[in-house]
Amino acid sequence: MIEHTVQIPEERIVILDFGSQYTQLIARRIRDLQVYAEIVPYYYPVEDIAKEKPVAIILSGGPSSTYEKNAPHAAAEIFSLNIPILGICYGLYQVVRAFNGSIDRASFKEYGRAMIDIKGSSPLFKGMDRREQVWMSHGDKVVSPPAGFAVVASSENAEIAAIENREKKVYGVQFHPEVYHTVKGNKILGNFLFEVCGLRPSWNMRSFIESSVESIRKEVGDGAVLLGLSGGVDSSVTAVLLQKAIGSRLFCVFVNNGVLRKNEHEQVVERFKKHMKLNLIYVDASARFLKKLKGVENPEKKRRIIGREFIKVFMEEARKIGKFDFLAQGTLYPDVIESVSTKGPSDTIKSHHNRVPEVLKLIKSGRVIEPLKELFKDEVRELGRVLGMPGEIINRQPFPGPGLAIRIIGAVTPERIRILQEADDIVVREIKEAGLYNDLWQIFAVYLPVKSVGVMGDSRTYENVIAIRGVTSVDAMTADWAYLPEPVLRKISNRIINEIKGINRVVYDISSKPPSTIEWE
């Protein structure tokens, strides 16, 4: 069965993941339309999906060609569940294959913007113009639709750009309605949900809070919960939600791992212990973490070391408290999907500190509560707003669990931490001063152990480099580098070079995600 941390609405969409980089966007767009959607791998047992009673199934895109030897395919039984189905790109080919249509390699691969011509009056395109801009990404094509299917859209390079069998409520599109470049993509998905499936928008943060509180109380009973609180958005919202559910039986442990931002430990204690009245336990384990990280350069090793050490600290504090029944984490949906390939055939992008072996063992034992693991970042911010949390917390930019350890390229040393803390503090302060902080998804400094020649006064210097990374994004699945005003960049650069010993050069990162990631490690 599909495992959930909280009670999930009865009306839900199941997305079968065939490995597309856009699969999470499908879920995100559907949730924008106030319908709950969840992702499972394409090979997930049909009988388990049927037990969940989804209202409809969406077949995602994927990087494979239908002609590859080990190409993933949907189980034939999926199409016998008698519920609406929408196939997207590779998912379209699964529909065509299941109903005995024909597919071939395209003469020309098609990537990017394209115009489709809509034919007839398909409910999928209700309320749309006859000609619309979409986003294509495919190397195969549908040669002839299955019997009983009508062609309802075409493009210059894809004569069969969309098909439908209105009687069976099965649809397929060659393009990606979930990406922003498909101008009316949300309209298409909305038509599938409301016109084809007959759903109503009913999933929102207030209903999520109600179901979460009920589910947490039921799971925890009279037990106690230990939460690792970092002071970031995810763990802070988790803390407030848990406090609402179980009150004083929540114990929050804030660990200073030595790679926090400048003065962060003081700010977190002030905010959560004095003002929010949480049961907050502060642990200064900075020396312990830095000893473990000494000489480690591989970013994955850094993540694992920090994740494991956190668990050890938690357990030690738990013994001091006396007894706790559950460990809570602020894990989000992208954390789960990006860490391991259990959601589909997509490659693992990075491991997550909430998914190290020690935590996975606790998860399997049923002793971990992750009330946000079905949510995306912007949904967590909305949840915080509905819970009445202050803007300074819920609008805080993401900060990685391993902290500055993965923003220091190479080995982590006390001197490099000091330099990066000072540089990052200058960056954030100047961005806030310029009124740009809330316009950016993230902006931060990265320490590069790359020596370059400089001139300061009448002397030559041979010092290191600070890179500035600023991006705009909606959900961190994709991100564009942020264009910042020249005076702001100039001031940041001047301050870093003039005020921080050991840095004589500042560079600005102008790469987007993909192909780059937001973080450098």
- Catalytic residue numbers read 89, 176, 178
Beta strand 131-144 with 102-118: parallel, antiparallel or unpaired?
Answer: antiparallel
Q: Give the CA radius of gyration of the chain.
A: 25
* Ramachandran bin of 234, using left for φ above 0, alpha for ψ from -120 to 50, beta for the remaining angles: alpha
Alpha carbon distance 36, 11 (integer Å): 7
**Which letter, b or e, does each residue of 73-100 get, where b requires 16 or more Cβ atoms within 10 Å of its Cβ?**
bbbeebbebebbbbbbbbbbbbbbbbbe
Q: Are 336 and 343 in contact (CB under 8 A)?
A: yes
Positive/negative CA dihedral, 334, 340, 342, 347: positive
Q: HEC profile for 35-67?
A: CEEEEEECCCCHHHHHHHCCCEEEECCCCCCCC
Alpha carbon distance 171, 160 (integer Å): 12
Alpha carbon distance 320, 323 (integer Å): 8
Alpha carbon distance 222, 245 (integer Å): 11
Q: How far is CA 324 from the centre of its chain?
A: 29
Alpha carbon distance 306, 328 (integer Å): 17
Residues 6+ apart with CB under 8 A from 482: 439, 440, 443, 470, 471, 472
**Which letter, b or e, does each residue of 457-468 get, where b requires 16 or more Cβ atoms within 10 Å of its Cβ?**
eeeebebbbbbb
Question: Alpha helix (H) ranges present in 191-229?
Answer: 205-220
Residues 6+ apart with CB under 8 A from 36: 8, 9, 11, 12, 13, 30, 203
Torsion angles phi and psi, residue 424, rounded to 5: -65, -40
Among 353, 275, 351, CA closest to 314: 353
Among 7, 36, 52, CA closest to 218: 7
Alpha carbon distance 404, 447 (integer Å): 9
